[in-house]
Amino acid sequence: MYNNGESFGFITDKIKEIKVGLFKSEINSELMLPNNVIQVLRVDDEGHIWFFTSCNGRQAANINKTFYAYLDFHKRGTDSRLLLNGSAFIVDEEEDVDELLSQSNYSKTIAPSLVLVKMKIMQAEYFEGHDNDRNSSWTEKLYQSFAGLFSDTHHKIFDFG
């Protein structure tokens, strides 16, 4: 089991809560996967995140199967953010693709333009903004601003690599 104590549980809970993120691949190739908004379909106990991203079916065969990737999660209405990076690869096993395609919101007609990506979480950064309520007094806002300068409670880095 990949579980690295409470840190891993914290990260997976945030991923499952937010579900939608921005995907960016870092492939040293002429053909790259595009930056895309993705929906997480599975987070397993080994620290892998499974999701589909778009790719022209004809180009998929020419793209490097393993690469480094980034995911950026931001929950609407909050000031929190989760950044993940790690090694990823394109999954070709039809049974995995079919199983996750049936769990997703994608139709079978769009399947040829998708690739299944499995990304291993190597590092995670979580940022949580200050809860500056409009009803807070200016002294409370000032205190929170100065406290944020000297405290790192709103920024956490987790290394799983």
pLDDT band at 11 (very low <50, low <70, confident <90, very high): very high
pTM recorded for the entire structure: 0.78
Q: Which residues contact 54 (CB under 8 A, 6 or more apart)?
A: 33, 34, 36, 113, 114, 115
pLDDT digits (tens, 9 = 90+) for 137-154: 777 766 666 666 565 556
pLDDT digits (tens, 9 = 90+) for 83-104: 999 999 999 898 998 999 988 8
Can you list the domains of the chain with their CATH numbers?
A: 5-159 (2.30.110.10)
Long-range own/partner contacts, residues 2-10 (CB < 8 A, 24 or more apart): 2/44, 2/45, 2/46, 2/47, 2/160, 3/45, 4/158, 4/160, 7/158, 7/160, 8/47, 8/158, 8/160, 10/126, 10/158
Distance CA 52, CA 36 (A): 10
pLDDT at position 131 over 60: no
pLDDT digits (tens, 9 = 90+) for 32-51: 788 999 999 999 989 999 99
Predicted local distance difference test score (pLDDT) of residue 147: 63
